[in-house]
Amino acid sequence: MLEIKNLHVKLEDEDKQILKGVDLTVEAGKVHAIMGPNGSGKSTLSYVLSGRDGYEVTEGEATLDGEDILEMEPEERAAAGLFLAFQYPVEIPGVGNMTFLRTALNAQRKARGEDEISAGDFLKLVREKAKTLKIDADMLKRPVNVGFSGGEKKRNEILQMAMLEPSMCILDETDSGLDVDAMKLVSEGVNALRDEGRAFLVITHYQRLLDHIKPDVVHIMADGRIVKTGGPELALEVENNGYADILGEVA
């Protein structure tokens, strides 16, 4: 589904290389996790994949279902099925959460040549999904993420994912800031979306999320590269021993 080959990325305005040859393949139906020390480039990878400005790809490629996504506009990548749950969801004063969701959903449908969803169907859908994530009507009415607590913002990301039903979901530290119950809700939300046609790339620092969302593959990223790949046991190793051993071993 997602194939990243030898991806090198530097900052556009600075001579700073951040990704130094990332190789990563995520197959449909699978959950991959990425762990790695702060500043190793995990968020950068997620931003570059979703098309944020400010980065320059100097080498390598990334394809989604065989299509080169690096040349696409962010909205085209979204319509192609890519979704990023942000590490720091953005507040947008003045834009209602509902308007935002409906505009996004319809824009993607339109881009794929599908009909727009009716106002009634949309309401039904959003209420149903919001309920399972314990997002109340008041939060839906408020401007996007404005005044939301850290955990509410993360749940709102998952609500968007549930509404948009992307095929490739990247979750950047969705667990940070969540209390134990919210972590369960969010995990259930993710697990409910798991299916053969969909893949997940879960960036996290903690084993705890991976107790709920069981990964098939775990990668360790350090200094702009994937330095080790293994099974779920790799996450446990990080949890118990930190990165020192792993990094020492690959160095």
Partner 1 sequence: MALAQVKQNTTDARLDALTLPEGEAGWAAEARADALTRVRGMGLPGRRDEYWKFTNPESLTQPVAPRAAIFKYEDEAPAFDQIERLRIVFVDGVFDPAQSDDLAMDGVEITRLSDAMAKDIHWVRDLYGVLETRGQTPVARPLAALNTAFATDGIAIRATGKAAKPIHLIYLHEDETSDAILHHLVKVEEGAEVTVLESGPAAARFNKCMEVEVADTGRFHHVRTQGRDHERRAATHVFSRLGQESTYKSFTLTANGVMTRNEHVIEMTGDDAVAHVAGAAMGDGASGDFHHDDTVFITHDAQRCESRQVFKKVLRNGAEGVFQGKILVKPDAQKTDGYQISQALLLDEDSSFQGKPELEIYADDVQCSHGSTTGAIDDTALFYLRSRGVPESRATDLLVLAFLAEAIEEIEDERLQDDIRTRLENWLERRRQG
Ligand X SMILES: Nc1ncnc2c1ncn2[C@@H]1O[C@H](COP(=O)(O)OP(=O)(O)OP(=O)(O)O)[C@@H](O)[C@H]1O
Residues that bind partner 1 (CB under 8 A): 50-53, 73-75, 77-79, 83-84, 86, 89-95, 99-100, 103-105, 107-108, 111, 143-144, 160, 164
Pairing of strands 67-68, 55-64: antiparallel
CB of 220 to ligand X, least distance (A): 11
**Candidate residues 40, 43, 156, 187; the one interacting with Mg ion per rule CB under 5 A:** 43
The smaller minimum CB distance to ligand X, of residues 87 and 97, is found at 87
The smaller minimum CB distance to Mg ion, of residues 87 and 108, is found at 87
The smaller minimum CB distance to partner 1, of residues 32 and 153, is found at 153
CB of 184 to partner 1, least distance (A): 25
CB of 90 to ligand X, least distance (A): 15
The smaller minimum CB distance to ligand X, of residues 53 and 196, is found at 53
d(CA 146, CA 83): 21
CB of 147 to ligand X, least distance (A): 24
3-state secondary structure the chain: CEEEEEEEEEECCCCCEEEEEEEEEECCCCEEEEECCCCCCHHHHHHHHHCCCCEEEEEEEEEECCEECCCCCHHHHHHCCEEEECCCCCCEEEEEHHHHHHHHHHHHHHHCCCCCCCHHHHHHHHHHHHHHCCCCHHHHHCEECCCCCHHHHHHHHHHHHHHHCCCEEEEECCCCCCCHHHHHHHHHHHHHHCCCCCEEEEECCCHHHHHHCCCCEEEEEECCEEEEEECCHHHHHHHHHCCHHHHHHHC
The interface with Mg ion within residues 84-103 (CB under 5 A) comprises 87
The smaller minimum CB distance to ligand X, of residues 38 and 118, is found at 38
Where along the sequence are the contacts to ligand X (CB under 6 A)? 11, 18, 36, 38-44, 54, 87
The smaller minimum CB distance to Mg ion, of residues 50 and 87, is found at 87
Confirm if 34 and 203 have CB atoms less than 8 A apart: yes
**From the list Mg ion, ligand X, partner 1, none, partner contacted by residue 189 (C-beta under 5 to 8 A by kind):** none
**From the list Mg ion, ligand X, partner 1, none, partner contacted by residue 156 (C-beta under 5 to 8 A by kind):** none
Confirm if 229 and 206 have CB atoms less than 8 A apart: no
**From the list partner 1, Mg ion, ligand X, none, partner contacted by residue 79 (C-beta under 5 to 8 A by kind):** partner 1
CB of 53 to ligand X, least distance (A): 10
